[in-house]
Amino acid sequence: MNIQTDSEVWGVCTHPAEDDLASESKAARPRTTGPEEKGSRGPVLYKLETETQLQRKMTQDNNPDVRQIRDFLEPDSQVNVEEHLLPPKTLLRYGLLLDIVQPTSRRSVCFTKGYGRYVEGTGSVLQSCMNTEVQNVFTDLELLSEEDRLQQLMSLQLRYFTPREVANLMCFPPCFSFPEHISTIQRYRVLGNSLNVLLVAKLVRLLFSTQPPPSCVDSSSTAPQTQNPVSPEEAGADQKERDML
């Protein structure tokens, strides 16, 4: 397997979502919708997301050294969009918690084995309809009626990534596939329990290519310890002493 350089390894796949580090922990804004700043039309500050996290996402999306999500998507002709759309109940209940990415994004949340069954913290969802601005959808969303809120969210056509797309993001080779009888949920579970193939391959190569460090112990001291040689006379004297006891 051809292993790329360190910069290529980190650039070939999108970075996983950031953890909420203790040094960055700040109370989330009580506001769950609307622009980040008053009167601004900037990126939406989602519920439970700090300004630090939002800034990090924007930085990742603006990093030209990281490939875009679109590079890992299946062709539209091979994706049954309707089958992977988030159901209305999920949109209404978890709409404000979703991590939404677009084909031009350069980041995504780490996919876990709960992807497809649970929503919060299990992986990103993809915006399929690019004719609608996310900012417009989430502005004052909570003030709308349930029906209008659902229509707003559905206009984004949010869908789950397919198992093949998740495998692509985790750098599984194109030849990798699942048996036909394995369900979609089971595929998500297996992929969520796996590791990024390319990074593991790089680490394994480094492990076996690194020469072991020289021993800090003198070679002579590593030899098995032996007793001093005993002459026949000494051995005989010892035996007489034992016989007298």
Q: Average pLDDT of each block of 10 consecutive residues along the chain (245 residues)? A: 43 42 34 38 55 85 94 94 95 92 94 93 94 87 92 96 97 94 96 91 89 55 47 58 55
pLDDT of 27 reads 33
> What type of residue sits at position 173?
P
pLDDT of 47 reads 53
Place of tokens 């009888």: 181
pLDDT of 43 reads 52
Check if the beta carbon of residue 95 is closer than 8 Å to that of residue 149: yes
pLDDT of 241 reads 55
Distance CA 122, CA 98 (A): 10
Count of positions (residues) in the chain? 245
- Token digits of residue 170: 């985790």
Distance CA 135, CA 92 (A): 17
Distance CA 218, CA 225 (A): 14
pLDDT of 193 reads 86
pLDDT of 23 reads 36
Report all structural domains of the chain as residue ranges with CATH numbers, in order of start: 6-203 (3.90.120.10)
Distance CA 45, CA 135 (A): 9
pLDDT of 232 reads 57
- Token digits of residue 26: 């700040």
